[in-house]
A and B are shown apart, each in its own frame.
Chain A
Amino acid sequence: MQKALVIDPVKCTGCKQCELACSYVKEGEFNPAKSRIRVFDFHQDARFVPYTCTQCAEAWCQRACPVDAITTNEWGVKEVHDGLCVGCKVCIIACPFGTVNYNASTGKVIKCDECGGDPACVKACPTDAIIYMDVEQAGFGKMRQWAAKTDTAAQATQ
């Protein structure tokens, strides 16, 4: 079964608990700059948009990696293996969503791995703006449609 993070920006109040939870669980520090999820603030429109990796079926980051450091686990999640990652950063420019980032203190790239099936951001979100559910029920197509338009073939859907 494939599960996915499903984000409903309308429910987001911009409290950024998800960013803190993510950086704490993944990096051991409360540092939003190292969070795998980011909440974008649109003050003027009173909107907040939590934003993270959509775990593309055919992932640009994975294919662009020159050393096979990004693999797909049983839940369809793309994981970066620190032991193999050389920090070349090709994945961070290849990902058209900008959801793979570089961690200068480790020299490796970081991206959402859904915390191995128990995402910290979901637990931290007080308003259910981020939930974790079956891919089939999630109406997950929207971001992947974006993906399809981004590249040279409709690869994210295959």
Chain B
Amino acid sequence: MEFLDKCLALMKEKGADEGEVSLTHFQKEEMELKAGEISLLRSRDEYYLTLKAIVDKRKASIQINKIDDDSIVEAVTELMRNAENSQADEANEVSDQVQEREFSDFKDNYDPELMYKRLDSFREKVGADYPDLVLEGALLEYQNKYNYYRNTKGVKLSSNYDKYLFYTTFFGRRGEATSSMHGTAIFLENLEGELYELASLPSIMRETVEHLDARVIDEKKFRGDILITPDSLDSFLYSILSHLGNSMLIAGTSYFRGKLNEKVLDEKLTLRTEPVSEYLPVKNYYGGDGIINRNDYIFEKGVLKNYLLDLYGSKKTGLERGPSTGSNLVVEAGDKSLPEMIGSIERGIILGRFSGGHPATNGDFSGVAKNSFYIEDGEIKYPIKETMISGNLFELFQNIVGISRARVNFGFNLFPYIHAREIVVSSR
């Protein structure tokens, strides 16, 4: 794309030693259902031009959403001034993994009438099947994304793909009784199927209604097992992965510092990053640093196989640049059925959703077990409310009892159920 080469030439002309430029263009068409009414159709055309310059190992970046000549000259002038006034850092450089690649998964299937039909059918079906369920909101959005990347070392990359995002939140309401909010976000390749059948929606909508009869657990406090559902697993996994990224590894506060190729979590856990997965519609072909991502292990049978650093983090720490910076997570399926897993729990909870503070750096966490169920003697006893759980993130994932065969595909993550021990459960 000549436009990007022009930006790089301008940076060079104004004194940049190295530079990179990335242009993202989004077309977004959103239809929104709010309190039972489809009341918004929103069209957006978005551009993001990101320019990065390095002068004497001093770096600055600037992002604008204009692509006319005057705006670019103004942005580059300010960029160079900011870079020259910055702090020198040997880790500042652009990628020299020279490649010229084009990635495309564009299907051109925007169809506003089909969007309306799917949302309308979702509204009708939910109303008919779950009269006590209140659809707080539902949003269906078509996204068409183009990205072009160039740097002064000759890297030339581009990508284009389109997808749909479906996002919905709901809660139960019967008389004056209200249950906790639940919901999901799912990315789709197309609108071939009905929305109410996606991911875990049928089960979480049913459970949300069951929570209108939620109870406080009789015992005030006990230690027990936890069955983490696919919908609540991200709360824990993203906290673990924050220890593998730039920030904590550069700061030296990561739990996983110096533990590459060591067994750090339970051997039953295999977690992969699959930025270009055949079964996940979301694609992350390459990073903002101009390096092509790859599908690879993060933890293989509990062994730490890769950090998730970008190019700067890699240069700064002396560790390898990650296969991605943590996108598209896939947990490998286990060998248990869900009834088998529940049956093996003497006492504990099924965690439907976790509402908690950020875990402390040492892994301690506590929070509210939302949309959750109490299990005793291998049976689900009742939906619970006003229940807190606490434990340690790393200890929990070092004590996995089993992983389900079944997994839920959210379009950007593929997650099973995970049974682990142990946590402290307390109620009022």
Question: Is A bound to B?
Answer: no
Q: B-contacting residues of A (Cβ < 8 Å)? A: none
Q: Report B's interface with A, CB cutoff 8 A.
A: none
